[in-house]
Amino acid sequence: MFMIVKKERLTPLVYRMEVEAPRVAESALPGQFLIVRTEEKGERVPLTISDYDPGRGTVTIVTQEIGASTKDICSFEEGQSFADVVGPLGMPSEFVGKTPEQLAGQRYVFIAGGVGAAPVFPQVKWLHSRGVPVDVIIGAKTSSLLIYKEEMAMCCDNLYICTDDGSEGFHGMVTGLLENLVLEQGRQYTMSVAIGPMIMMKFAALTAKRLGLPITVSLNTLMVDGTGMCGACRVTVGGKTRFACVEGPEFDGYEVDFDEAMRRQTMYRSEEKEAGPHICKIDIRN
């Protein structure tokens, strides 16, 4: 159970793993996440689901080595098993609950920053398979850090690439490219979805607001239990406290207090460094 059936390195620090988890695969939907523990008493690491295949009984996770626990996950090889994979957790993306009539006439643009391209993928696939027009922007610091280009190209209408250093595609950040598409190239959208670093989602929301475009963001908050009991994942949305693990992770980007969310994200950073892999906190959903 929870055996890694396939492992690939996507960039020097980012790995994709297909993991046996039939019950999670059977009920997973775009937008949801799961919690992985490499050993019985290990840290509970929340990771967004990057794909799921009920036929094969597998789910796919994409993990960036950015701390002790993600390094631990990435060190697992094909044939080895995680102690626990719990999910699917959180609410599915809002469009999953829409009828074909409600989806008719919609045109989505997804804004994926860095590793955020992985959780964008199942959402794009879901909409594309239902005939909803979808454009995708993928941004990364440099060309070699772009992920999911080929996969995304196969299930979207238009794929737009940008890099901070101009090594591939548009020279600039995802927000600059979104503005360029709408203001310079006259692309029209009814909805946008941004997934990536918190700072990117903050500026994507500000940009979308300026363009009059609604936006959903997926919040990678601190998480501990992932079931609405501990309060670690609390965020302020529209002036109200919400729990990202059970009420999210997706929220209306106009309403999120990103500055507070970013402060909370860094709250345990020094403790994590000191404690190595054993501290009970998590802010590393990739």
Binding residue numbers for [2Fe-2S] cluster: 230, 233, 245
Report cis status (omega within 30 of 0) of the bond before 88: yes
> By CB under 6 A, is residue 88 in contact with ligand NAD?
no
Choose which of 19, 24, 115, 233 interacts with ligand NAD (CB under 6 A). Answer: 115
Choose which of 60, 175, 192, 216 interacts with ligand NAD (CB under 6 A). Answer: 175
d(CA 22, CA 1): 9
CA-nearest of 206, 188, 183, 184 to 259 is 206
Binding range to ligand FES, per CB under 6 A, among 48-56, 129-137, 189-197, 219-227: 219-227
Choose which of 13, 230, 279, 280 interacts with ligand FES (CB under 6 A). Answer: 230
Per-position b or e across 56-83, b if 16+ CB within 10 A of its CB: ebbbbbbbbbebbbbebbbebeeeeebe
Strand bridging mode 134-140 / 158-163? parallel
Binding range to ligand NAD, per CB under 6 A, among 77-85, 96-104, 195-203, 237-245: 195-203
Choose which of 183, 229, 238, 241 interacts with ligand FES (CB under 6 A). Answer: 229
Give the nearest residue (CB) to ligand NAD: 114
If the CB atoms of residues 49 and 191 are measured against ligand NAD, the closer one turns out to be: 49
Q: Phi, psi (5° rounding) for residue 217?
A: -125, 155
275 exposed, middle or buried (CB, 10 Å; 0-12, 13-18, 19+)? middle
Binding range to ligand NAD, per CB under 6 A, among 15-23, 94-102, 137-145, 250-258: 137-145
> By CB under 6 A, is residue 164 in contact with ligand NAD?
yes
Binding range to ligand NAD, per CB under 6 A, among 37-45, 83-91, 193-201, 225-233: 193-201
CB 171 within 8 A of CB 230: no
168 exposed, middle or buried (CB, 10 Å; 0-12, 13-18, 19+)? middle
Q: Indicate which of ligand FES, ligand NAD, none lies near residue 285 (CB less than 5 to 8 Å, by partner kind).
A: ligand NAD
Q: Structure tokens of 2?
A: 């929870």
> By CB under 6 A, is residue 223 in contact with ligand FES?
yes
Place of tokens 């979805």: 193
If the CB atoms of residues 57 and 254 are measured against ligand NAD, the closer one turns out to be: 254
Cross-strand bridge partners of residue 47: 34
What are the angstrom distances between the C-alpha of 131 and each of 106, 127, 141, 156? Answer: 10, 7, 32, 10
Count CB atoms within 10 A of the CB of residue 246.
16
If the CB atoms of residues 103 and 142 are measured against ligand NAD, the closer one turns out to be: 142
Choose which of 30, 92, 114, 226 interacts with ligand NAD (CB under 6 A). Answer: 114
Q: Indicate which of ligand NAD, ligand FES, none lies near residue 183 (CB less than 5 to 8 Å, by partner kind).
A: none
If the CB atoms of residues 2 and 251 are measured against ligand NAD, the closer one turns out to be: 251
Binding site for ligand NAD (CB under 6 A): 48, 64, 113-116, 119, 139-141, 162, 164, 173-175, 195-197, 199-200, 203, 218, 220, 284-286
Q: What does the binding site for ligand FES look like in residue numbers (CB under 6 A)? A: 223-226, 228-233, 243, 245
